[in-house]
Amino acid sequence: MNIELRLANYLSRYAPSHTRVLEYLAKKKVQNPEDLLLGFGYDESLMADMWMRTFIAEGKWVGDIRRKYMLKWFPKELIEEKLEQNAPDIHTWENYRWSIENQIRTYLQRKKSLRIIAMTLVRKYPYFRDEIEALIIDSDDSDGLKKEVQKYKNKYNLSGAHDRQKFYAALMRKWFSYSDIRSVLSDDIEE
């Protein structure tokens, strides 16, 4: 395979920085790598734009984007320029609201507790902590808790203190609160 095809494949697959391309061409022992790049019309700014679109789509925050650009050997000036150009798109709540609401619904369908959902999403989207907590306050995990209570009620004999303690401990390990467990259990006993 000739070097032009290899270079075209490398550029389209990795969207590398200028430094990385020169390093790749040096490994391939190419003479006059700058001339070859000029012939290809290589534009480092275009490669940085491609990475920026990927980072925005993945919901990366500024520090993470800057770090990933540095790992890909893009120049600091270009990194700052791209961050400044794309600042409105990087951290807007409206870009992520639908995705986060969808994830909350999915976790609730999987019978996860609200605390686990909040911790997972805040870890993934740290800039939207307040918005995520507001969405989760509007949600209700009582169906998941009722299902878990029924599951563990069948497993443990709740008349004994030791088994009752194990019952509460098992549900609390799934991040359901003690007061919620008690209220669901008392509602269940009344019925």
Model confidence pLDDT, tens digit, residues 97-138: 888 888 988 988 888 888 888 889 988 887 788 888 888 887
Q: What is the mean pLDDT of the chain?
A: 84
Task: Tell me the CA distances in angstroms from 176 to 87, 134, 144, 171, one per residue in order.
Answer: 38, 18, 10, 6
- Token pair for residue 152? 């563990």
Least Cα distance to 19 among 49, 53, 42 occurs for 42
Q: Are 174 and 142 in contact (CB under 8 A)?
A: no
Which distant-in-sequence residues (6+ apart) come within 8 Å of 42 by Cβ?
A: 11, 18, 21
Q: How many CB atoms lie within 10 A of CB 2?
A: 7
Model confidence at 77, pLDDT cuts 50, 70, 90, reads very high
Measure the CA–CA gap between 34 and 22, rounded to whole angstroms: 8
CA 112 to chain centre: 18
Measure the CA–CA gap between 69 and 16, rounded to whole angstroms: 10
Q: What is the pTM of this model?
A: 0.51
Measure the CA–CA gap between 182 and 185, rounded to whole angstroms: 5
Q: Fill in the DSSP letter of residue 128.
A: G
